[in-house]
Structure 1
Amino acid sequence: MSETPSLTAQDALCAVMIAVSASDENIRTAELVKITNIINNLPVFADYDSDHVPRVSQTVFDLFDQEDGLDALFGLIRETLPERLNETAYALACDVAAADGEIAQSELRMLEEMRYELNIDRLHAAAIERGARARHMTL
């Protein structure tokens, strides 16, 4: 395989969202819509070229096909993403996971791995998760 392409900080945030969506091997429309809305509306993506998303997606998928790909993905994210955006990355991942109204076991495991890899304090993670749950409640 060719060398893994470098990412920008915004690409790394996209990679986190794509990774949690793809973790259950079923990327749902609601998750894709959530990712698109996040990219189009959040200030952290204000100057982001959404044409990068297919390349970032392919990078995530290629890494998922490798034996140690998840470790490589998190290495790439930690290398690229400023530490001050780790909680932002986790919040985006939680919003994508909650977007379709159900969180699969594989998505829960991915979120757990993200908490660990991004060094998210457990109390902060619980608050982020609670906020995502509250934003995605239905009647």
Structure 2
Amino acid sequence: MMTETSSAPALSPQDALVALMITVSASDSTIRTSELLTIQAIVNHLPIFADFDEDRLEGIAQTVFDLLEEEDGLDAIFGLIKAALPVTHYETAYALGCDVAAADGTVLQTELELLREIRYEFEIDPLHAAAIERAARARHLRL
């Protein structure tokens, strides 16, 4: 368990991507089953997670939850992610966040606000962000 004086553990690039996805899922204070299944599917199928140890998921989730309870927790999460993730993968992180937000078929206001913050923090080009968002909508559209 973390205390206010302890620092969060360093993350691997894969940990950082998982932390971002969990942060998006937790942004509306409810982690939906569809979001968890999407995170699990992403981790199981994308090449970027080929050597990721799935046993780390619970610890990463706990780190995110602990930080979100702190006053500047979101800033701390962004700091950890940016320290672990190469700039070349910021758009990947945003795409994964969009997929998690769209997973349940509805993107809530709190999720939209977090995605906007991610775009700002990671300096995602607005046109690239629009394309990523549209692709996530298309992948998660229901009949």
> Which TM-score applies when normalising by structure 1?
0.99
2:102 is aligned to: 98
Aligned residues: 139
Partner of 2:31: 27
Q: CA RMSD in A?
A: 0.5
Letter aligned with residue 38 of structure 1: I
Cα deviation 1:35-54 (Å, max 9, x = unaligned)? 00000000000000011111
Alignment of 1:123 onto 2:124: no
For 1:134 and 1:3, the matched residues in 2 are separated by: 39
- Specify the alignment match of 1:16 in structure 2: 20
Question: Given residue 76 of structure 2, which amino acid in structure 1 is its aligned partner?
Answer: A
- Structure-2 separation of matches of 1:67 and 1:13: 22
Structure 1 runs, 4 residues or longer, greater than 4 Å off: none
Rounded Cα–Cα distance in structure 1 between residues aligned with 2:81 and 2:57:
15
Q: Which amino acid aligns with 1:124?
A: H
Q: Flag structure 1 segments of 5+ consecutive residues without an equivalent.
A: none
Name the structure 2 match of 1:66: 70
2:140 matched residue in structure 1: 136
- 1:20-63 Cα offsets, whole Å, 9 max, x none, are 00000000000000000000000000000011111110111011
Q: Using the TM superposition, give the Cα deviation of residue 119 of structure 1 relative to its aligned residue in structure 2, in angstroms.
A: 1.1
Cα deviation, residue 3, structure 1: 1.8
Deviation by residue 1:41-88 (Cα, 9 ceiling, x = unmatched) = 000000000111111101110110000111111011111101111000
Residue identity opposite 1:15 in structure 2: A
